[in-house]
Structure 1
Amino acid sequence: MQDISSHVLGRWIGPGPGAREIANAVTGRPLGRAGNDDLDFGAILDFARSRGGPALRAMTFHERARMLKALAQHLSAHKQVLYDVSYATGATLGDHAFDIDGGIGTLFVYASKGRRELPDAQVLLDGGLEQMGRAGSFLGQHIYTPLRGVAVHVNAFNFPVWGMLEKLAPSLLAGVPSVVKPATASCYVTEACVRLMIDSGHLPEGAVQLVTGGLGDTLDLLDSQDAVTFTGSAATAVRLRANPNLIRKAVRFTAEQDSLNASILGPDAGPGTAEFDLFVKEVTREMTVKAGQKCTAIRRIIAPEPLVQPLIEAVSARLAKVVIGDPRVEGVRMGALISQDQKADVLAKAAVIATEAECVFGVQSGLAPVGPDVEGGAFVAPTLFLCADPDRARKVHETEAFGPISTIMPYRDAEHAATLANRGRGSLVASIVTHDAGFARDVALEIAAWHGRVYINDRDSMAEATGHGAPMPHMVHGGPGRAGGGEELGGIRGVKHFMQRTAVQGSPAMLTAIGGRWVPGTAPVTAPAHPFTRRFGDLGIGETLTTAPRTITLADIEHFAHFTGDTFYAHMDEAAAARNPFFPGRVAHGYLLLSFAAGLFVEPNEGPVLANTGLDALRFVRPVVPGDSIRVTLTVKEKTPRTPEYGEVRWHARLDNQDGDKVADYELLTMVAV
């Protein structure tokens, strides 16, 4: 018997009063004990707030991103440890890749996005500036800052690693400490993962704590600066969400719960097409990966009436080849459910579905678990139902058997297919497999409001498609209605769940100081030397260079036109240009102005500026006619480290004419040596 510990208050604490026994899913034999009712949950929360929170907030987004990358690298180097303990959950080697490798991959994605999309700062700006007055001396800016509390992550049994890491990645990147509460049935895998993370030395003390077993009175102790994320059943979500303290304190609560996901086969995707074969593969994979214990698995298969029978035959033939049993045995493709309780629940739900649908594969399949000691295991054979009249049926659209169970149902047209998909009353994902873009559009627009993700696949995308049941950290994961109404992941969107958006108002100088990005109107800082001669670390936000003027001549305009081939009439035909409501006559090319601007501010000698990588937000504000002059004001707007050798400098460039009127502005991006 293994004692499965919690890691709280900076130390490991073993099982105590109230500990529960956990069984091996494959053999049914006792595996270990977890839980301790004597834990001081108030002290655990205070430890996170007083130790973990300040340590994380002292770091910049980039420092936290590097921490995530280091954790991912450490876990990747030791993932065999997690593979070995995961077999007891009934998971196969392929399931390990989905859970363990998927979780590690999520850390890598958030580490990368943190470095590429977030500033090397402690404040995240949201949107642009809002000018409150005519002169621009009083402005508004939305900012995000970390919550000052704790993120409590309550996870499901089916993904003990990925389920934890997909919540930890954005909360740690946001700068918020976490208390992780895994499902008890598979908490020994989560414990092994947390041990690796703690032993790596990359986490500040108090940044991550693990509670195996019950959470005690934790929810009653949370405040408005805390957040709860939950993955699991709809019934449990309702119970947690209704906690009076969470309601009273307006504690953030995000739920990702069970859903009756659907997959729709297009009418064009008959036998012999790439789409038909793809659909069969997707359905069987979603029924068998993790033994169907996935919140994104396909529960309802919606197919055109003429294709229902060929689809039943094709899916049944593929399912018949599935070997179930001990996942350590070579050739086994589907393991056990997590527990005997889960097996009983799945069979009970399958019996409910059977009152409205006919079993077309499963009971008579003859599939039996293989392995030396599987008699007490929680095995359920893949089972396929046919609901011939889904319009009159109700239970097939309301009952989720959280295992290798799925139901085929026929549809008449695109509208009917969408109606059936939407009868699930909210799901995490719906997929459409078709090569008909019109059909895909018609269905997608009808079902999008009821589904968190719409996955469309065909012969053109199948080589790179990630799969119906694979949430990716780049995109939101969640869904409306029955699916919980929440969103997780979604790249930086997921980070913002753990931050407060605040409207900050003040002068340009105040907003520059708070946001770490130069705001026009802030008094310029005169650089001690030409800014292109100064290294990345020496440049200061707001350093400004104002160039000498240059006069634009008609000869310049004509030469530029013939040299580039841009002989647009506004540059070459006085009468035609004068008839244009935007111009007084012939005008300079906008790109001529950009070229001359570069000539005015560029330092030609070799120096720390390595490359010009582009420009953003270019606007031509006022035409420049022959005889006008321009000068450039170049200001360091923002700095972002990219590698140990160089960083990105964002410059604000403003072009003014001889009267001081702005004629153009843009943001120039350069890479500058550290």
Structure 2
Amino acid sequence: MTETLTLSHHIADQTIPAIVAHEQRNPAAPDDLVVHIPEAGTALVAQATQAARDALAPSAATGIEARSDALAKIGRAIAANATELALLIARETGKTVRDARGETIRAARIFEFFAGEALRNIGERFESTRPGAMVEVMHAPVGVVGLITPWNFPIAIPAWKIAPALAFGNTVVWKPSEVSSATAAALMRIIADAGLPAGCVNLVLGAGATGQAICEQPDIDAVSFTGSEPVGQRVREIVTARGARVQLEMGGVNGFIVLADADLDIAVECVANGAFFAAGQRCTATSRIIVEDSVAERFLAALKSRVERFSIGDPRDERTDIGPLASPRQKQRVSTQVAAVRDEGLVTAFGAAPDPDDCHFAPTLFDHVGGDSLLAREEIFGPVAGLFRVDGFEAAMALLNNSRYGLSAGLCTRSLKHAEAFKREARAGMLMVNLPTAGVDHHAPFGGLGNSSYGPREQGRAARAFYTTSRTTYLRGG
């Protein structure tokens, strides 16, 4: 029996029904779940922005302890509802229910972490060069923050934007992806029950038109975006043109180096996880597997054997390792990119045989890939990777760094010398040694170099840099 969810915007603690503009179905079982999503557009974004602006003073008046308590309450409620939220994520986006449960618990911990940070927004006080005067530096909220979040981490990424925004005294206008709006609505209900003043968080649903309205809205003081590079660059142009603050996370073509001295069991697990788990739909996924020639054949055989043991199927099943791509549109995009790689003359070591009847896409590896291939230059947001064969560490590092992106990079080795050189020389914001390129801690900074990121880092204590502005006061007694 089909379940149909018809969603509404949420502005100033009121639900705002609207005409359905978009539909999302369970990508593994289209008749299981149908989500109807409205499009907010310019007028409702303006209304949400005014509600957020009006909430700034009441939010400040409640004080930091009340904000901390609210964030902790949100974290507890997410954890208490983790099973139901994980199943909704699996049904809506195709993420496996095991993966979705882990993401949900991570979101809970993010809110709990920032409940503590709300009490630790510490400033500075020091003597002025002018006799008898003191200098105080405080970290004040930026104001109204617009948040545009993607579907691949439908609860964790909203958490790591909303939680610090609130912790440091801002208010929020939030647009999730239309692919994951039911999950966003469920999180919004939890936030609405936390006791924050009306208008502290406002949910506006829709697609590109609503995202553009957030970027163009003159009363939004800062915009944080996670998504594709082309859209991110457009967000940057619009927001910076009107003088507002902007933060972008835009993915990457992440490389993982396997040296001849590596433990191949560890290397295979790192690559299998990084390249193929979550159906490759992670901005930190491994897409360039850079292996020394002397171990390439053994590594390839072991990786193929590992992939053959994957359980690919219904994301609602606890036994499933890899679910479908998030939507038919996403599958078409990945299929088109893979066809372009085939047109280069590259052949597959395994995979590249998608089921034409659903959104699943088999884990796919192209072998003997060159540095000028599309696989080396463009992000394929699916379970697709290339094997690049090199003759040593220096060649591996040169290939790794030959990218306009720089989000995550990995190295598998037993050599401390090479690990230290990798840490110094790799041009990426996230460096992994004997760990997958995908997977980060909730309390540590996240972000990349080059075209992967723009603006201050997200997550952990580093998040304060984006969500606050320094205010310097000089004091001398009268």
TM-score (norm 1): 0.66
Match of 2:178 among 184, 195, 219: 184
Match of 1:152 in 2: 146
Counterpart-to-counterpart distance in 2, 1:443 and 1:406: 21
Match of 1:95 in 2: 99
Q: Secondary structure at the match of 1:2?
A: strand
**Alpha-carbon distance, 1:98 to partner:** 3.7
Counterpart-to-counterpart distance in 2, 1:389 and 1:241: 32
Letter in 1 for 2:132: S
Q: Secondary structure at the match of 1:40?
A: helix
Match of 2:431 among 451, 454, 458: 454
Match of 2:278 in 1: 290
Match of 2:57 in 1: 54
**Alpha-carbon distance, 1:388 to partner:** 4.5
Match of 1:24 in 2: 26
User: Are 1:107 and 2:111 matched, yes or no?
Assistant: yes
**Alpha-carbon distance, 1:67 to partner:** 2.0
The structure where helix makes up a greater share of residues is 2
Q: Secondary structure at the match of 1:478?
A: coil
Match of 1:617 in 2: none
Q: Which runs of 5+ in 2 are unaligned?
A: none
Match of 1:357 in 2: 346
Q: Structure 1's 388 and 181: CA in aligned 2 closer, same or farther, altered over 3 A?
A: closer
User: Are 1:78 and 2:76 matched, yes or no?
Assistant: no
Q: Secondary structure at the match of 1:228?
A: strand
CA deviation map 1:542-566 (0-9, x unaligned): xxxxxxxxxxxxxxxxxxxxxxxxx
Structure of larger gyration radius: 1
User: Are 1:476 and 2:428 matched, yes or no?
Assistant: no
**Alpha-carbon distance, 1:289 to partner:** 2.4
Match of 1:496 in 2: 465
Counterpart-to-counterpart distance in 2, 1:174 and 1:330: 38
Q: How does 1:131-210 map to 2 (within 5 A)?
A: 131-133=128-130, 136-147=131-142, 149-198=143-192, 200-210=193-203
Letter in 1 for 2:428: H
Q: Secondary structure at the match of 1:96?
A: helix
Q: How does 1:184-333 map to 2 (within 5 A)?
A: 184-198=178-192, 200-214=193-207, 215=210, 217-223=213-219, 226-243=221-238, 246-269=239-262, 275-333=263-321
Q: How does 1:339-350 map to 2 (within 5 A)?
A: 339-350=327-338
Q: Secondary structure at the match of 1:263?
A: strand
User: Are 1:65 and 2:63 matched, yes or no?
Assistant: no
Counterpart-to-counterpart distance in 2, 1:423 and 1:356: 22
Match of 2:361 in 1: 380
**Alpha-carbon distance, 1:183 to partner:** 0.5
Counterpart-to-counterpart distance in 2, 1:360 and 1:312: 8
Counterpart-to-counterpart distance in 2, 1:478 and 1:383: 27
**Alpha-carbon distance, 1:57 to partner:** 2.0
Counterpart-to-counterpart distance in 2, 1:248 and 1:81: 42
Counterpart-to-counterpart distance in 2, 1:60 and 1:451: 39
Letter in 2 for 1:309: E
Counterpart-to-counterpart distance in 2, 1:206 and 1:82: 24
Q: Secondary structure at the match of 1:327?
A: coil
Q: Secondary structure at the match of 2:447?
A: strand
Q: Secondary structure at the match of 2:29?
A: coil
**Alpha-carbon distance, 1:398 to partner:** 1.0
Counterpart-to-counterpart distance in 2, 1:472 and 1:36: 34
Q: Secondary structure at the match of 1:431?
A: strand
Q: Structure 1's 386 and 66: CA in aligned 2 closer, same or farther, altered over 3 A?
A: same
CA deviation map 1:100-123 (0-9, x unaligned): 1221121122223444xx15xxxx
CA deviation map 1:298-343 (0-9, x unaligned): 1111111111111111111010111211122352211111101100
Q: Secondary structure at the match of 1:403?
A: coil
Q: Structure 1's 187 and 445: CA in aligned 2 closer, same or farther, altered over 3 A?
A: same
Letter in 2 for 1:253: V
User: Are 1:129 and 2:122 matched, yes or no?
Assistant: no
**Alpha-carbon distance, 1:356 to partner:** 5.8
CA deviation map 1:353-411 (0-9, x unaligned): 332633101147xx97xxxxxx8431100001113443xx2422212110111111122
Counterpart-to-counterpart distance in 2, 1:468 and 1:94: 19
CA deviation map 1:493-541 (0-9, x unaligned): 202311111232223x69xxxxxxxxxxxxxxxxxxxxxxxxxxxxxxx
Match of 1:3 in 2: 6
What is the RMSD of the two structures over their aligned residues, measured on CA atoms?
Answer: 2.2
Q: Secondary structure at the match of 1:203?
A: coil
CA deviation map 1:237-264 (0-9, x unaligned): 1222222xx2343111100012111111
Match of 1:397 among 370, 376, 399: 376
**Alpha-carbon distance, 1:76 to partner:** 0.9
Counterpart-to-counterpart distance in 2, 1:387 and 1:114: 51
Counterpart-to-counterpart distance in 2, 1:494 and 1:399: 28
Range with bigger deviation, 400-409 or 283-292: 283-292
**Alpha-carbon distance, 1:33 to partner:** 1.3
Q: Which runs of 5+ in 1 are unaligned?
A: 270-274, 369-374, 458-464, 511-674
TM-score (norm 2): 0.92
Q: Structure 1's 37 and 503: CA in aligned 2 closer, same or farther, altered over 3 A?
A: closer
Q: Secondary structure at the match of 1:82?
A: helix
Letter in 1 for 2:466: H
Letter in 2 for 1:50: D
